[in-house]
Structures are given as C-alpha cells and as structure tokens.
Amino acid sequence: MKIFIYILIALATGLIIFNSTKLDFDQLFIGDSAVAAISILAGLCAILLLGILLVSKSIAAKVKK
C-alpha cells in the first residue's frame, strides 16, 4: 500500500509539472490556462491527502504495537 501511495504522489507531481508548462500568466483564468491552474490545485490537494493518509497509516501501525 505504501508503494502505491508513493506512485500516486509521483503521478500527482508529474501532473503539476506538466500543467505548470501550460500556464499563461497574462491570462491566468482564461482558456487552457484556467484548466491548467485547476489541475495544479487538484494535484496539490491529492498530494496533501496522500500525505495525510501516509501519516495516518504510520500512526495506526504504532498504536497497533
């Protein structure tokens, strides 16, 4: 499960990097730039949630012992 979470974090990071190349700072919320900005936020949320899941799993393992 831990490896799967790390793979998902890597995919979300790749999504952020790819979409950051699509940003046009002159027109940030128009057209493809808006989609890229929303996708970057979605990737950041995914990384945050997966980080919380990793911490939760490690706490559960320590409590179990």
Q: In Å, how far are 22, 24, 25, 35, 41 from 49, measured between CA atoms?
A: 24, 27, 27, 21, 12
pLDDT tens-digit readout, 21-48: 999 888 888 888 999 999 999 999 999 9
- What is the pTM for the complete model shown? 0.87
Q: How many domains, the chain?
A: 1
Given this model, what pLDDT does residue 61 score? 93
Given this model, what pLDDT does residue 28 score? 86
What residue numbers bound the domain in which 9 lies? 2-64
pLDDT (mean) for 3-29: 94
Residue 53 near residue 1, CB atoms below 8 Å: no
Percentage of the residues of the chain whose pLDDT score is greater than 70: 100
pLDDT grade, residue 13 (50/70/90)? very high
